[in-house]
């Protein structure tokens, strides 16, 4: 990439300022990356945990599988999913607040006796599925932000900071050489004046 600069003291001061900004920001960005990495891991663990609970519940209800042929799917629908937003390390994440179901009217006397319990089971399974999707979405969003942050850390550490340091070094050397040449020229001129004066 390389830093574009002029060889003068103003450019040197500007490069020093940019270098200080990046060096001060680097620890904060690294901390953000660590926090995001930890949150991604937490979200994945929570998604796995919910999936395990879902599988466990499904396994536990295996004995009822024959009864589900009598169940009418139109009895229950997901009406709304209440969501709020929260920020984790500067990233907006949707958080599941509540799943609202609509249970349509049915005749208790003509329906199978287990229908009420079946509705509760469906609510629980559906809520777990939606909750898992929220954790997976959280994981995806945080992982995307983590990758961007890692790129920025690498950009600062491996490209920009070394480039600025190199540019500063070159400018300092040039200015020192220029100053030394100027002093040498002054000495030569002074020596010639002294020789002429003698």
Among all chains, which residue has been given the structure tokens 């790129």?
151
Q: Using DSSP, state whether 82 is helix, strand or coil.
A: strand
Is the model's pLDDT at 103 over the cut of 90?
A: no
Provide, rounded to the nearest whole percent, the portion of the chain with pLDDT above 90: 52
As assigned by CATH, the class of the 9-185 domain is: mainly alpha
Handedness of CA 153, 159, 163, 165 (dihedral sign): positive
Name the band, by pLDDT with cuts 50, 70 and 90, for residue 112.
low
| Cα separation, 172 vs 128, whole angstroms | 63
């Amino acid at each position: 990439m390389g830093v574009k600069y002029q060889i003068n003291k103003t450019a040197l001061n500007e490069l020093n300022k940019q270098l200080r900004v990046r060096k001060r920001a680097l620890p904060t960005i690294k901390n953000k990356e660590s926090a995001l990495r930890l949150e991604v891991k937490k979200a994945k663990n929570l998604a796995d945990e919910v999936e395990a609970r879902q599988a466990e519940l499904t396994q536990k209800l295996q004995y009822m599988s024959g009864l589900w042929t009598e169940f009418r799917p139109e009895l229950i629908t997901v009406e709304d999913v209440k969501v709020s937003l929260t920020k984790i390390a500067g990233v907006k994440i949707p958080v599941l607040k509540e799943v609202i179901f609509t249970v349509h009217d049915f005749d208790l006397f003509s329906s199978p006796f287990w229908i009420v319990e079946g509705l509760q089971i469906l609510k629980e399974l559906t809520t777990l599925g939606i909750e898992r999707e929220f954790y997976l979405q959280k994981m995806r969003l945080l992982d995307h932000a983590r990758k961007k942050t890692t790129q920025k850390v690498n950009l600062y550490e491996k490209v920009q900071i070394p480039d600025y340091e190199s540019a500063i070094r070159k400018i300092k050397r040039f200015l020192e050489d220029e100053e030394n040449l100027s002093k040498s020229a002054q000495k030569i001129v002074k020596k010639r004046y002294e020789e002429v004066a003698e």
